[in-house]
A and B are shown apart, each in its own frame.
Chain A
């Protein structure tokens, strides 16, 4: 039974590498070759010209910074809301109406989340109407900009629609799996206060267990497309939107920019993924 060639799981993994891993490797090699001028319509022999031209422009850096800002703020706000929700509503999250309803946002497509926020947050949206009814605004233009806005509020809110329920469930699960309740009771028995329970027991455990998921979600938000496409500002755009726009432009000179943005993104994601694996490996937990 030890011959791997007779093992169907060996062939399944080989097929997985063929259909899922190899195309990515080929695609990244092609993107790199294109960006160095060795393949494609702009082929001119090995050159750093495209890289120099792209990296000396602020557009790509602002785009990466904007993506990092949205991802970081989304995850920070997610923790700020999901943590108290998971602790204070542990039982309702397990049973009853909320126990089922909290799973629904996990199935919300990003396109629909963006559409919902668009309907709520535009100048003529549902959120502006109570202000109009109270006489605080008299036209849609008078409502504060929450879509395509400089602070990316609409984009962040759309992500929060999905991330807050996910982390509320996750942290509630960790609370139970790590027996935080019992550890806190022990802390009180040994003379500690409720504050000690929170600062020295609950928070460190939940934060440590949630780090890997936080980093994976950070990668996901960092490279998200549908939500910033509909709700994001025009400049700087998030990195996926910028890459796609540059790639789809009629100007061929923009194609290397798209590939360079994709390559920089890939290097960043690979770095975060390596960090995720180191942490998950230390915790002995790899998998979904």
Chain B
């Protein structure tokens, strides 16, 4: 009914494509140029060898490794935790009241939360450690995972589970042979999302990590703050590449499972 047609549609699609792809093209482009300064409209000097200096000389490999390790661990803990906790919330008579507890870590500003959490983390001797950063990031990721899975635990799943018990199966069989295969796609999608939540986390890592846990988002900001756009662009390229690949894969899975959002 309201669909654009002809030239208008072509122009609108082109503009939308430029808008969506712009950052993903500009950031790698900036990382490959040298001295692309005002007032030059186009890059004048291309330098790919900066990448090898960058990867070897600025502790980037360490940052990539730390970011990957933290994100994978957050994903590995938060996804199953949210998956199981969501079942309890979804089938509870006071579902809405319990769900509001999950929204607290999910919607609050990570930086403001980290500010009020810092005392507790100091007492637990977690500040400036990878364990502390992990614990803080799991809070947000698990909150997301719980909210994500609640709509999936519906009457249909419950009846299937009860059918297993009726047929003489136990809880373990219900989970491993019925529920886990049914939840395969949502579990993968949620795992990607929790990975992304951790991968892009900045404020919490900055405060709880106390500058000792140098993840990629921290590196990007450091390079921007020290007016080094080329290094910032290289770090940003490394930061956006895995999410771009994951979102593409995630979309393929989402098309398969196509669950209704909020």
Contacts and interface: CB of A to CB of B under 8 A. Distances in A.
Interface of A: 1, 6-13, 15-17, 19-21, 23-24, 26-28, 30-31, 34, 85, 87-92, 97-98, 100-116, 118-120, 123-126, 128-130, 132-133, 140, 161, 164-165, 168, 170, 173, 177, 181, 184-185, 194, 197-198, 202, 212-213, 216, 219-220, 222-226, 229-230, 239-240, 243-244, 247, 258-259, 261-262, 265-266, 269, 273, 276-277, 280-281, 285-288
Interface of B: 1-4, 8-9, 12-13, 16-17, 19-24, 26-27, 30, 37-41, 80-89, 91, 95-96, 98-105, 107-113, 115-120, 135, 138-139, 142-144, 146-148, 150-151, 165, 171, 196, 199-200, 202-203, 207, 217, 220-221, 224, 229, 232-233, 236, 239-240, 243-244, 246-248, 250-251, 260-262
Given A12-B81, A132-B38, A224 B116 contact: no
17 contacts: A9-B86, A9-B91, A16-B81, A19-B81, A24-B108, A88-B8, A100-B248, A111-B236, A112-B27, A124-B38, A128-B38, A133-B39, A168-B16, A194-B1, A220-B107, A262-B116, A286-B150
| Shortest 3 CB-CB contacts between residues of A and residues of B | A223-B109, A12-B84, A107-B243
Nearest to A238: B109
Nearest to A34: B119
Contacts of B39: 129, 132-133
Contacts of A30: 116, 119-120
A263 to B, nearest CB: 8
A30 B123 CA distance: 12
A107 to B, nearest CB: 3
Given A216-B107, A269-B107, 13 more contacts: A8-B84, A12-B85, A16-B142, A34-B119, A107-B196, A115-B236, A126-B26, A170-B261, A223-B108, A243-B115, A277-B103, A285-B260, A288-B262
Given A24-B113, A173-B261, A9 B147 contact: no
Given A16-B85, A19-B135, A247 B115 contact: yes
B248 A286 contact: no
Interface of A is mostly: helix
B38 to A, nearest CB: 4
B142 A20 contact: yes
